[in-house]
Structure 1
Amino acid sequence: MRISDTDILIVPGLGNSPPEHWQSRWQAKLSTARRVMQDDWQQPRREAWVNRLVEDVQASSRPAIIIAHSIGVITTVFAAEQIRGHVIGAMLVAPSDWDKPDLIPGYDLDFTPIPMTALPFPSLLVASQNDAYCDINRASSFAEAWGSEFVDAGDAGHINVESGHGPWPEGLLRLASFLSKLKLGTQ
């Protein structure tokens, strides 16, 4: 499959992805990529974030591939049934575990309980051994429940700028490998 045959939807996490974040860099490099924009990046609300993702997926002119990070992963999982048939695959990176009490003090988000049912499209979940926002065993449980291929990225933190993942070339290689397994029309 060629990227030009798809719409790549970049789904950032809390606070959006700054220009030096791998998601922003990939968006600039991938010709069919666009960011799912949210009205409030600092105080996300599940219904608003899910609705925006669903709208953007449905507005796609080609089969969609989602590349999500952190709470963007959780947004994707909540939206999964509504985007069935439009999304042909999702790369889910460093999910944040909002079922964990006080994940980030001061945030009272309505992203719980996190669904633990199979996704209706192929997915790849990349997680880190030392991510402060999601224990590796919990990430593995997500992958198993969602039917995702699981990749242990080692000690990679939250796989963001703060953990040294600006361009993240290893991630691009993972994406290319994942895309090579997808087929148009396969949900």
Structure 2
Amino acid sequence: MWNRSFLILHGVENRRPAEHWQHDLALRLRERGEQVFYPQLPDPDRPTLRGWTGAVEAELGMMRGERVVVCHSLACVAWLHVAADRAEPPADRVLLVAPPGPSVFDWDAVAGFTPAGLDLKALRPAAAAPRLVCSDGDPYCPEGAADAYGEPMGCEVDLLPGAGHIAVPDGYGPWPSVLEWCLDPSVRLAPRP
């Protein structure tokens, strides 16, 4: 029986490429004998909130022990919708990496995910005190994720200077810091070396 399990959730248009830090993270955790769920979320090019939250709920139902969730991009907002629908925190630890900013939800492919109706201040207990990792120059969050999400949710924030959207084009293949955080939540996330 596992004493913890990890759920790794990708963003829009992501088909879990081997070059992405999330793919590498899943491999590294499995090499250590950890239970890892890294699902391909439905319709990644034209996702629906209902499709993604349903898939996340199904994965949560299989997790055992401490539940650790690592989200990137649109999955961060999908996660917030999952947490908003729960009376109890659905995970023990949550890492939100590079969530999209409010202006991104003008894009019709992701408009249904808008966090506009969510009370982010009330979400903190339901989201198990998430940790937010963001860049100071994310093109998908020109408003700044620390202001748009971190401040209202009262999250600890790790700001990575010049890290873009914290994805493959920004040099985020293997990212040792995220693996370290998964194994030890006291670790501060740092830019990729």
Q: TM-score, normalised by structure 2?
A: 0.80
List per-residue Cα deviations over 1:31-55 (Å, max 9, x = no partner): 2211133221111111111111112
| Corresponding position of 1:157 | 164
Aligned residue for 2:12?
14
- Cα distance in 1 between the residues matched to 2:135 and 2:143: 6
Residue of structure 2 equivalent to 1:91: 95
Per-residue Cα deviation, 1:113-133 (whole angstroms, up to 9, x for no partner): 342233320211000011100
| Identical positions, percent | 25
Alpha carbons 1:103, 1:133 under 8 Å: kept: no
Do structure 1's residue 111 and structure 2's residue 113 form an aligned pair?
yes
Is 1:148 the equivalent of 2:155? Answer: yes
Query: Would the alpha carbon gap of residues 147 and 5 (structure 1) be closer, same or farther in structure 2, given more than 3 Å must change?
Result: farther
**Which of 49, 54, 60 pairs up with 1:51?**
54
Instruction: Tell me if 1:127 matches 2:126.
Output: no
Structure 1 counterpart of 2:55, which letter? Answer: R
- The answer (yes or no) to whether the contact 1:124–1:178 under 8 Å persists in 2 is no
Are the counterparts in 2 of residues 9 and 33 from structure 1 also a CA contact under 8 Å? yes
SS in 1 for 2:133: strand
Q: Aligned pair 1:30/2:29, yes or no?
A: yes
Gap change, CA 1:171 and 1:135, over 3 Å in 2: farther
Q: TM-score, normalised by structure 1?
A: 0.83
Q: CA deviation at 1:108?
A: 5.0
Distance in 2 separating the partners of 1:96 and 1:123: 16
Distance 1:136 1:156, change over 3 A: farther
Q: Distance in 2 between matches of 1:86 and 1:113?
A: 18
Residues 140 and 175 of structure 1: is their aligned pair in 2 closer, same or farther, counting only changes over 3 Å? farther
Work out whether residues 37 and 52 of structure 1, in 8 Å CA contact, stay in contact via their aligned partners in 2. no
Q: Paired residue for 2:191?
A: none
Deviations 1:94-129 (A, max 9, x none): 1112x315665x635301134223332021100001
Task: In structure 1, give the amino acid aligned to 2:103.
Answer: K
Residue 140 of structure 2 aligns to a residue whose secondary structure is: coil
Q: Which amino acid aligns with 1:59?
A: M
**Are the counterparts in 2 of residues 95 and 139 from structure 1 also a CA contact under 8 Å?**
no
Following TM superposition, by how much is the alpha carbon of 1:179 offset from its aligned partner in structure 2, in angstroms? 5.8
Could you list the runs of 5+ residues in structure 2 that have no partner in the other structure?
189-193
> Partners in 2 of 1:95 and 1:65 — Cα distance?
17
